[in-house]
Structure 1
Amino acid sequence: MKWMVYGLLLANLAVLAWSFRSAPPEPVVQSAPADAETLVLLKEPGPEPGEVEAIPEPDHAQPEPVAVEPQRLCWGLGPFAKRAQGRTAVELLSKQGITAGVQTVGLPDLEGHWVLLPPFSSRGAARDAIDELKAKGIKDYFLVATGEMKNAVSLGVFSRPETAARRVQDLRERGLEPQVEPVPLPQREYWLDLGAAETDVATVERALGLLAADFPEVNWLQHPCGQ
């Protein structure tokens, strides 16, 4: 019996020794002393908080200044309502040794009023209508040969509506039924070009004096040459 107790005790001691040998050792945590300094990683010096690091601007070469030639100015005299008036003025100045040319200046279109007999079914029917106009003593007409109003008979284009209304009234009194259509009227005026700004003011004033009797409304201006 005593030997049995000794055997059990030896077996327990063997199992206890085996468990200590097979268990992994626990890691040892070393605490730093209270008065030890904290390790700080070294890095490149940066801006202080609240500061923005300035980024150098690229070195761009400044372009060389371009020399701009001053715009040449020319003298103009006008306006003239008709090209023929401008040509007459050119002849007057030419006799006094002043050279000038006539320039056309476009203006915004006006709305015109076209009085006409609506398009007929054929060219022959339109010519019959023209014969009727002749018989009634009506003048100033022409036959429209092309376009949307082909075979219509035009009876005049007027810039003022009251003038067109009088024409319509006269035609109706003669037994016709004309109609009025809006149409754009190109507007132009004419100026005399005296050339570049080298023309002295005295020459311009002399030209105005020469034209004052026949064209009292004419004045002068300066404008970019070629425009």
Structure 2
Amino acid sequence: MFLRLLFILLMALNIAVGAWLLLGQPYAHNGNAVDPGVRELRLLSEMPQPVATVAAPSIAASVATAAPVSLPAPAAPVNTPPPRPAQPVPQICLALGPFATPQDLRNARQALGAQVARMRSRQEQITQPNGFWVYLPATSSHAQALELARQLGARNIKDYFVVSGGDQPNTVSLGLFKDPANARKRRDEVVAAGFPARLSERSETVPEYWLDLVANNSPRFEWRNRVRASGVNSHSTSCF
């Protein structure tokens, strides 16, 4: 009995809900809710979406029919002449000297250091006259040389010397002269006294100091304005 009553109640409830859903909404039967002549309001979500592909053909057509843009022609290259290579500055090669001492050579190097491209120092050995020697030839023994010297004194000939060593032992030296005229006069006096006097030129080996240099051949280079050593000259030499 209870179940039948519950079933009847549920059926009545379903009928009431269905009648309310069907008859309780006026939009389904009474038409529009606005006055005639007034546009109906719609939500943005209810508006139809625009078709984006409609304008694409027109855009493509406008691009296809657009006039081609003419680009400016590249400028013609200007024929500029290549730069000329720098002309080498002519150089001169000189040898300065002889310098009397190594210090004179060093002073010249310092004075010319900023004016030349290259320098080198060198030393040479030269033989130069060292006077004129008057003498009596060597005897066979030192005793004979001493006896010859006593004979010179007996003839009033002074200023002699008996050589006992070196490369010419047992000779009697009669003097060393710078002036050849004085040497000849001394020899003639001894010969006139009856002795076989002889005359020979003496020489010695001495060092000479030179400075070789390479400089630019320009009017501004003048070594004589800077080198103060006396007796120094120059001549051309091979470059190095």
TM-score higher than 0.5? no
Provide TM-score, normalisation by structure 2: 0.39
TM-score, reference length from structure 1: 0.40
